[in-house]
Amino acid sequence: MKPLWGLSVLLLAGCTSTAPVPLEVRIPVAVPCRAPAVETPRFATAELRPADDLQSKVRALLAERQQHLAYEIRLRAALDACR
């Protein structure tokens, strides 16, 4: 009886189908951006007083323009890191 049982198990095992081949599908997944936070600089015109002379105000405005350009570069770099 045991040989018949073992033979039937082997015959039934031969009837099983082959394992399906896994199919790899690539789907884009949204990933949160991990860019470092860009700190807002203290702009030069924030320290101006109404009593300051015109030359000081113009120099502060020129300096602030450079600060804004540098700040924009850092913001764009952080944005590009997320793309």
pLDDT tens profile 34-75: 888 899 999 999 999 999 999 999 999 999 999 999 999 999
Q: Is the per-residue pLDDT at 79 higher than 70?
A: yes
d(CA 29, CA 25): 12
Spell out a b/e string for 39-49, using b for 16 or more CB atoms within 10 Å of the CB, else e.
eeeebbeeeee
Q: For position 39, what pLDDT does the model report?
A: 93
Q: For position 75, what pLDDT does the model report?
A: 95
- Which pTM was predicted? 0.59
- Residue 1: pLDDT band (50, 70, 90) is low
